[in-house]
Structure 1
Amino acid sequence: MFESSLSRRLLLASAAALMAAPLCAEPAYPSKPIRLVIGYAPGGSVDMVGRVISDILTKHLNATVVVENQAGAAGVVAAQRVVSSKPDGYTLLAGSSNELAGTKAVNTAQKYDPSKDVTPIGLAALAPNMWVAGAHVPVKNIDEFVALVKKNPGKYSYGSPGIGSTPHFSGELIKKSAGLFITHIPYRGSATMTTDLGGGNVDFAIISPLAAAPFLQNGRMKALGVTTASRLPTFKDVPALGEHPALKGYALNGWFALVGPKDLPPEILAKLQGALRAGLGDPAIRQRLEASGAIPAKGDENLAQVIRTDMDKYQDLAKFANISE
């Protein structure tokens, strides 16, 4: 009887050990390189912020992070790749408000829905933009801009880096808020747009403050207002567009964020969020983001809510402007 009892105990212990074995054998995350996909070419603002995120994950997860630039369709190609990947935390997207909110409103071929098909990890930074005039346009401030365009509906044009981009929607919101008629000229990026603005081929543009700075200094552009709700510390003399009565309440920022495919396991999501928060609390990291023209996130923003809110804004503006691809 003693031997029978002992045998039963040994069998139970063996069974318990077998059940626990797979859990013990599961390596702690991350146990292999993380692919951080960026949907734009190297050197741009999304790429710069993406590489800051890469350094954060490397340090705070003690991980090997491989950055992969996969440009195409304003970030949609890269986002689709991540959305379709296995939700194990080893394929992530360092993305922007373009492919994570804006493009769905204008690109009928986009298969994924950012509000449903990604796991929001965290906001990394805001991307302010600036409404600028070419040197040839006879305006110096928002008052003069609004008065000039209202007096000459359809005569003036503005450029953006492309249809469905955050700068494009920012321009359409200016038109909608102030009741203005300005022709939109889409470009494939900011370089040609900047050249055309300096050459007088386009009258106004939405551009990042960092890209605008040298042209403001040499007089080829004039800063009329920023798209943020309040003035930027680095451009204190440039008003927020929303300060003008015709644009009261105006605010539309681009942003950069880290996301993964839908259904990331909670324990992996928690690790990634903790790493991002820790990184954003580092003064050196915040300085790097500011140097790239971004406003570092606080680390406690609700990214899922940001995505949903901006998707609604962009959908409304797409209907207003009657834009689609």
Structure 2
Amino acid sequence: MRFIPPLLSTALSVVLAAGLAPMAHGQTDTYPDRPITVVVAYPPGGSTDLTGRAVADQLSKKLGVPVVVENVGGAGGAIGAQKVSRATPDGYTVLLGANNEIAINRLISPAVKYSYKDFTPIGLVASQPMVLVASIHSGIRTVDQFISTVKAKPGKYIYGSSGVGTALHLSAEMAKQQAGLFMSHIPYRGVGPLTTDLYGGTVDFGVYVLSSGLSHIRGGKMVALGITEKKRSAVAPDIAPLADHPALSNMDIGVWFALMAPPNLPEAITARLRKALAESLQAPEFRKKLEDSGSTVAPPNVEMGKFLADETVKYQKIVTFANIKE
């Protein structure tokens, strides 16, 4: 899901800032009167892209103008996110981002120069749990077995995720911290290579976004130990939360998606976008598409300032504990 290359500083430096000139009053009165671009900071095909296209489709219906998705991949989402943080605040360029590019990247890499405060939050869109799995070769079938086995032989066991500093990596480190475990981490460039190694028993455990791991679990190719959010998922109610185990009672971390605009967006345009998003979240076809993909649609009117601040504090504690940096 996330890989920040050594040349991140150079890559980010080429993202040019658009002018931040204040808008004339008449421009806010007529908004929107031309197409809007939703930047997705990953290539097509992933969960962020799917969510972004579903949001774009609904916003187009609510706002009455074309809303197009622009995929700006690279640097674990940082290139696309920075592009939006520096765009003209006119409501015609917004970001459909996940927690990695909005809140986590800045905590991991000094090359990332923006933070979640460099956006105008429009609203939370959806969230999805991750799932901790065991290789069928490990012989581990329950959370209790997982904790007792890893504790008995510190350092012997290995888990994989889709990259250093991803939400998946942080979720496993959160479990390690809470249960007092010592496992080694192998970062992969995506879930494909991780899946191959889990199938073969090269790694003992792995973390997936639930929608990515479910087919492997249902096919009996790996064992679901538990989901990372406290509430059960409607798409997989048979998989218990890790938090049901006393040693992991504070486990509550997921992948979330939010709509963000450049800083200093005029209040009238911010209100227009927030209203359109709130209406989109209630559209039956939108809810079905996201729920079928494993996501839970966010409740309306989440207080985004507090949400983002709380999430960042959570991630910072994990990053500090695990000494994650690039």
Q: Give the Cα separation in 1 of the matches to 2:255 and 2:270.
A: 24
Q: Give the Cα separation in 2 of the matches to 1:25 and 1:153.
A: 62
Name the counterpart of 2:183: 182
Name the counterpart of 2:255: 254
Q: CA deviation at 1:25?
A: 7.7
1:113-149 Cα deviation digits (max 9, x unpaired):
11x2100100000021101111111111100100110
Q: CA deviation at 1:101?
A: 1.0
Name the counterpart of 1:309: 310
Q: Are 1:93 and 2:76 counterparts?
A: no
Q: Give the Cα separation in 2 of the matches to 1:228 and 1:55.
A: 28
Q: Match of 2:90, as an amino acid?
A: D
**Helix, strand or coil at the partner of 1:32:** coil
* Contact 2:37 2:69 survives alignment (8 Å): yes
Name the counterpart of 2:80: 78
* Contact 1:49 1:292 survives alignment (8 Å): no
Q: Give the Cα separation in 2 of the matches to 1:258 and 1:210.
A: 21
Q: Give the Cα separation in 2 of the matches to 1:218 and 1:112.
A: 41
Name the counterpart of 2:219: 218
Measured at CA, do residues 111 and 287 of structure 1 come closer, stay the same or move farther in structure 2, by a change above 3 Å?
same
Q: Give the Cα separation in 1 of the matches to 2:28 and 2:174.
A: 50
Residue pairs, 1:166-315, within 5 angstroms = 166-315=167-316
1:216-251 Cα deviation digits (max 9, x unpaired):
122210000001112222222211111101111210
Q: Give the Cα separation in 2 of the matches to 1:324 and 1:208.
A: 22
1:253-277 Cα deviation digits (max 9, x unpaired):
1100100011111110111010111
Q: Match of 1:244, as an amino acid?
A: H
**Helix, strand or coil at the partner of 2:211:** helix
Q: Are 1:41 and 2:43 counterparts?
A: yes
Q: Match of 2:74, as an amino acid?
A: G
**More moved, 262-271 vs 300-309:** 300-309
Q: CA deviation at 1:152?
A: 1.2
Q: Match of 1:35, as an amino acid?
A: T
**Helix, strand or coil at the partner of 2:186:** strand
Instruction: State TM-score, norm by structure 1.
Output: 0.90
**Helix, strand or coil at the partner of 1:29:** coil
**Helix, strand or coil at the partner of 2:286:** helix
Q: Give the Cα separation in 2 of the matches to 1:90 and 1:126.
A: 25
The runs of at least 4 consecutive aligned structure 1 residues that moved more than 6 Å come to none
Aligned pairs, number? 303
The correspondence for 2:59, drawn from 44, 52, 57, is 57
Q: Match of 2:80, as an amino acid?
A: A
Name the counterpart of 2:4: none
Q: Give the Cα separation in 1 of the matches to 2:27 and 2:154.
A: 69
**Helix, strand or coil at the partner of 2:137:** coil
Q: Give the Cα separation in 1 of the matches to 2:26 and 2:218.
A: 61
Q: Give the Cα separation in 1 of the matches to 2:283 and 2:32.
A: 22
Measured at CA, do residues 236 and 170 of structure 1 come closer, stay the same or move farther in structure 2, by a change above 3 Å?
same
* Contact 1:102 1:310 survives alignment (8 Å): no
Identity of aligned residues (%): 43
Gaps of 5+ in 2: 1-23
Name the counterpart of 1:127: 128
Q: Give the Cα separation in 1 of the matches to 2:27 and 2:324.
A: 53
1:1-22 Cα deviation digits (max 9, x unpaired):
xxxxxxxxxxxxxxxxxxxxx8
Residue pairs, 1:18-37, within 5 angstroms = 28-37=30-39
Q: Give the Cα separation in 1 of the matches to 2:315 and 2:26.
A: 47
Q: Give the Cα separation in 1 of the matches to 2:76 and 2:125.
A: 19
Q: CA deviation at 1:27?
A: 5.6
Q: Give the Cα separation in 1 of the matches to 2:235 and 2:287.
A: 14
* Contact 2:209 2:255 survives alignment (8 Å): no
Instruction: State TM-score, norm by structure 2.
Output: 0.90
Q: Match of 2:199, as an amino acid?
A: G
Name the counterpart of 1:108: 110
**Helix, strand or coil at the partner of 2:51:** helix
Measured at CA, do residues 243 and 25 of structure 1 come closer, stay the same or move farther in structure 2, by a change above 3 Å?
closer
Q: CA deviation at 1:24?
A: 5.7
